[in-house]
Structures are given as structure tokens and as C-alpha cells.
């Protein structure tokens, strides 16, 4: 989708693989941050659960694989956002939450 079309949305939920990411969670986090930063630099307002939640896990001793905890958090933001963009990083189709 062209960036100009993404700018029309108030907020975009940026979904990306994490727990089953072939490069591991650290790389999943880094790539989500990189893509999210590129979109923000283009004036697109996003919410990236991986960029936020990975940092929470590292600094607040939370389990990054506690799907029940994160799904409850993510559902709130999914409902608040106007659109969903799926980062099709390698193996994204293996993600239970994205698929």
C-alpha cells in the first residue's frame, strides 16, 4: 500500500512476528522498531506492540511469551486503531496471532 494511503488513518496497528520469528525475539524487536521508525518518519501514526512490549519485558521482568497477557493488551490497541498493517518479515505467516 502506498505511504500516502497510510497517512489517511488516524492510527495504524503494526503487527509483526515475534515468538516464532526465525531470527529470534531480539531481531524481531529490532526489525519492528526499524520499520515503525520509517513509518513515523513518513508522518504515519502507528502502534507497534512488539516495539512497546519487548521493552516492557526487558525492563519490568514480564514474560514475553505470556500470550494471554499480551493478547489482552493488544486487543485494546487493535480496537483503538483504524487500520492493520502486517509486516511480512520472514516467517510472518507462522504467527498464530497475525494469521
User: Global pTM?
Assistant: 0.86
pLDDT, tens only, 4-58: 899 999 999 999 998 888 888 899 999 999 999 999 999 999 999 999 988 998 8
In whole angstroms, give the CA distance from residue 18 to residue 85.
Answer: 15
pLDDT, tens only, 74-87: 899 999 999 999 99
pLDDT, tens only, 54-70: 899 889 989 888 888 88
In whole angstroms, give the CA distance from residue 21 to residue 81.
Answer: 24
SS (H, E, C) 13-82: EEECCCCCCCCCHHHHHHHHHHHHHHHHHCCCCEECHHHHHHHHHHHHCCCCCCHHHHHHHHHHHHHHCC
Amino acid at each position: 500500500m502506498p505511504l500516502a494511503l497510510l497517512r489517511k488513518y488516524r492510527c495504524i496497528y503494526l503487527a509483526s512476528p515475534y515468538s516464532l520469528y526465525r531470527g529470534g525475539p531480539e531481531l524481531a524487536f529490532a526489525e519492528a522498531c526499524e520499520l515503525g521508525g520509517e513509518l513515523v518518519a513518513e508522518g504515519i501514526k502507528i502502534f507497534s506492540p512488539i516495539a512497546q512490549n519487548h521493552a516492557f519485558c526487558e525492563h519490568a521482568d514480564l514474560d514475553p511469551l505470556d500470550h494471554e497477557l499480551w493478547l489482552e493488551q493488544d486487543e485494546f490497541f487493535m480496537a483503538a486503531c483504524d487500520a492493520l498493517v502486517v509486516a511480512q518479515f520472514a516467517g510472518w505467516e507462522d504467527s498464530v496471532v497475525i494469521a
